[in-house]
Amino acid sequence: TLDAAMPCRSVLITGCSSGIGLALAVRLAKDELKRFKVIATMRNLEKRWELEKAAGNVLNTTLEVKELDVCSEESIRDCVNSIPGRKVDIVVSNAGVGLIGPVESQSIDTMKSLFDTNFFGLVRVVREVLPDMKRRQEGHLVVMSSVMGLQGLLFNDVYAASKFAVEGFCESMAVEALRFNINISLIEPGPVITEFEKKLYDEAASIDLSSVDRETARIFREIYLPYSRRIFTALGQTPEEIAK
């Protein structure tokens, strides 16, 4: 029986198919004091097997997997409506995509797509849960940002811009949120070793640089990519360390 002084809090986490989202969902669901009921969400439920395997015997007890696409207001609303009383005590906005390379090699549509997930995805989730939190006069928004929300980095122009937007949005909203007893936490990791990052760098190594001047292309391929891989290998944290 749970201690009455320590109520079980519902935690909605986005982007749980892998990486930090998966690690955090499992860590909270396996909390020895059973303080959390985790709603672990992802855009594509066909990718749920890794999470379910990691969850083990807490699956469908303290961890439930649901579909949620942060790029769809309807998907977010359907997910929240499926939660008893729409009661979400903590939201962890973790879903995100990456983009690296010279800005001349990236289309405007690609940049818009990144912002649609990294920034507007957060905004959509907040707009859905914030009114309920205000009405209950309690809640916690945990937002997965990045050190690149504090400082830009070579060839990460658009990604950093999306994280700067996240920082400005959350910092601006924080004073209003406190009036309603709602906390906002920005998490700003440095390098994290995940399949997400590995895939991003593998794709970057083969991007079309035909529209980029020779010197920029050389710096990207011969200096930036090898250096970045070394940094990730030497300094990268694991998703489990970030979750902790």
| 90: β partners | 11, 140
Please give the Cα distance from 120 to 162 (Å, whole number): 9
Q: Note if 159 is an active site residue.
A: yes
CB atoms within 10 A of CB 188: 16
DSSP 5: T
Both ends of the chain: CA-CA distance in Å?
Answer: 25
Residue of 132, 142, 145, 138 lying closest to 178 (CA atoms)? 138
Task: Please pick, among 159, 201, 224, 227, the residue that the annotation labels catalytic.
Answer: 159
| 174, 176, 178, 183 alpha-carbon torsion, rounded to 10° | -40
User: According to DSSP H, which parts of 38-192 are helical?
Assistant: 49-55, 73-81, 108-118, 120-136, 157-179
Say which DSSP state 207 is in. -
> Which residues have a catalytic role annotated?
159
